[in-house]
Amino acid sequence: MHTIFSNCGNPEHSTDIDSRPIYVHYGSEKFYADYFETAKTKYLKDGPWIKPTGGLWASRADSSCGWKHWTMENHMSYDYHSLCNFAFKLKLKTKIFNIKSKEDIKTLEKIGVYENYGYPDRCLYGINIDPLVKRGYDGIEVFMNEELYWDLYGWDCDSIILFNSDCIELIDKQGE
């Protein structure tokens, strides 16, 4: 249900290989700390919107359902994914809530993160990140699949949103 990157790449845990995933943010050539906006819940008149605003959005570099793949599959007219991006890993002890199934959404509902509000033709859900921040989470990572598509309508692809920038470790993209 959640990942804490505390045992990755740590010699005292019998490995010298850094197994933390590489994430890529598209739309900027480098991370600008001065422009970073802390993530917050976006509200509509009926409740929180599906996705938070601000934060740092990215996809795993090796994801076959990530942002780069999604833009190409949907014939987006821009090509910034190949030119304008930066890579990072999550620092050790970063706490991420993973959403891989409807069971994970039920957990979010129990802690008051995931709220249902209706439209005439369907129900939508909104993510209020405040309870996660209070529990010490640094972000949410979604692993999109058919089971989650309508409940997380608007997320579109595998992605992570980081609530704060303190948990990123910038890396050189040469090996990507």
The least confident of 28-32, 45-49, 118-122, 164-168 is: 118-122
How confident is the model at residue 8, as a pLDDT? 39
Which tokens in the block code for residue 86? 């930066």
Domain count, the chain: 1
Asked if residue 157 has pLDDT above 60, the reply is yes
Is 84's pLDDT higher than 70? Answer: yes
H helices of the chain, in order, are 67-73, 80-83, 102-110, 130-134
pLDDT at 97: 94
Burial (CB < 10 A; 0-12, 13-18, 19+), residue 66, is buried
- Domain with 151, as residue range(s), is 2-175
Per-residue pLDDT at 52 = 85
Check whether 173 has a pLDDT greater than 80. no
